[in-house]
Amino acid sequence: MTSFADSVKSTALIPYDPTLPHISAQTRLELVCDQVATRSLENAKYAANHFPQVPPRVFTGRNFVHFNASLNTPRCLKTDATIDIEIFTATSGNSKAPVVIFSHGYTTLPARYRPLLGELASHGYTILSLTHSSSIEEKQGLKLMEEIAYTDQLAATMANNIQYVLNRVRSGALKDLGDPNRIVLAGHSVGGAASIMVSRIDPAILGCINLDGVLKGVNRTDGIAQPLLMITGDTDNYKRSFEEDLQHPEKDVRDYIEASLQSLEEYEILNRNSARSEKLSIPGARHMDFTDQPFQEHFAGNKTVSEAMRVHALVSQKVLKFMSSVCDTK
């Protein structure tokens, strides 16, 4: 039998093709993400030891399907004009499955989370992965404090998008996709922060998952009533990086350090203020390791299979355990 390592060893990232000039850099990156997700998920059965096992459901990488939907929002709302949604469901399908509404990070394509979201769907959850169009493109020329203020605004828009989709799941066009009474919000980076913002004002949400998202909003350290899972990267490594950056005062590094250390403290305050909160950091993990970045690095020959799978396996294991506890799945 071909091993997982052998099956991906010859896989290269999609190269630049001069005969296809109409393909934009973003489209090409989406194709790369598709390839990464397809290879990692379809061949995962050859590397079962790298994936968390949650008996009696065993992840094979072939137990989910995904399709797309799109919502046009009313002009009067402070949302994006259109919210595209990538929907992942178990192959068997289940209109009563718990629903996860997932939000991506700033300037990060939603496609980059397919390995994680596909795995969650394989375990019986319906995943709605939102595209927050206002948060896809990076705004150029911003200084640090300006960028922080800008991402605060983005988080508010993302929170509005999430609430709009929530209403559609509960009583609108998306109501038949899963159980409207069992919804969990999740996200990475700014998407994680926006998920907390919505959970704080919507008591019907069952739980919230924040993957390395710096907190946003005026009352960002106020606790939430629902179970909260916060997984961060290597915070000790972040601190060391901040200190090393002091060698480069031209980058407004002192403001950067102050803001970053404040964000780490805010995690702790929110954790203390939330009665059912769990916070953990993954040693050695970088911010983008919560996306498919490690898989891309593997396919480029810069990481072993085990190195590429490490953060994914830890995050998915924790998230699956959290989902099972808050949704009472069997």
Tens of pLDDT along 169-193?
Answer: 998 888 888 999 999 999 999 999 9
- 42-52 burial string, b = 16+ CB within 10 Å, else e? ebbbbbeebbb
pLDDT in tens, 197-219: 999 999 999 999 999 999 998 89
Two structure tokens written together for 237: 């490594």
User: Stretch 107-136: mean pLDDT, rounded?
Assistant: 89
Mean pLDDT of 82-95: 81
More confident residue, 4 or 286: 286
Q: Which CATH class is domain 4-327?
A: alpha beta
pLDDT recorded at residue 181: 93
Euclidean distance between CA atoms 323 and 99, whole angstroms: 10
The confidence band for 109, taking pLDDT boundaries of 50, 70 and 90, is confident
Tell me the C-alpha distance between 226 and 183, whole Å.
11
Calpha distance 22→13 (Å, rounded): 18
Q: Residues of the chain with pLDDT > 70: what percent? A: 73
Residue 192 to residue 29: CA distance in whole angstroms:
23
Residue of 47, 62, 51, 39 lying closest to 3 (CA atoms)? 47
C-alpha 196 chain-centroid distance: 13
Tell me the mean pLDDT in the region 236-262: 67
Is the pLDDT at 34 greater than 70, yes or no? Answer: no
Is 31's pLDDT higher than 80?
Answer: no
Report the alpha-carbon distance of residue 38 to residue 61 in Å, rounded.
9
Segment 14-18 shows an average pLDDT of 44
Residue 47: band (very low, low, confident or very high) from pLDDT cuts 50, 70, 90: very low
pTM over 0.85: no
The secondary structure of the chain in percent helix, strand, coil, rounded to multiples of 5, reads: 50, 15, 35
Mean pLDDT of 217-228: 94
Least confident window among 51-55, 150-154, 163-167, 234-238 = 51-55
**CA-to-CA distance for 130 and 70, rounded, in angstroms?**
9
Give the tens place of pLDDT for each residue, 135-162: 998 888 887 778 888 999 999 999 999 9
Kind and range of the H or E element at 256?
Answer: helix 253-273
Q: Where are the domains of the chain?
A: 4-327
SS3 330: coil
pLDDT at 116 over 80: yes
pLDDT of residue 266: 93
| Average pLDDT estimate for 117-130 | 88
Alpha-carbon gap, residue 216 to 20, rounded angstroms: 41
| Residue 15: pLDDT over 50 | no
Dump pLDDT digits (tens) for 56-66.
Answer: 333 334 456 66
> 3-state class of 60 per DSSP?
coil
Q: How far is CA 50 from the centre of its chain?
A: 20
| pLDDT at position 118 over 70 | yes
| Dist. CA 257–CA 245, nearest whole Å | 8
**In the predicted model, is pLDDT for residue 3 greater than 60?**
no
Which has the minimum average pLDDT: 7-21, 161-175, 313-327?
7-21
Between 258 and 43, the higher pLDDT residue: 258
pLDDT at 91 over 70: no
* Separation of alpha carbons 275 and 51, rounded Å: 30
Is 70 a residue whose pLDDT tops 80?
Answer: yes
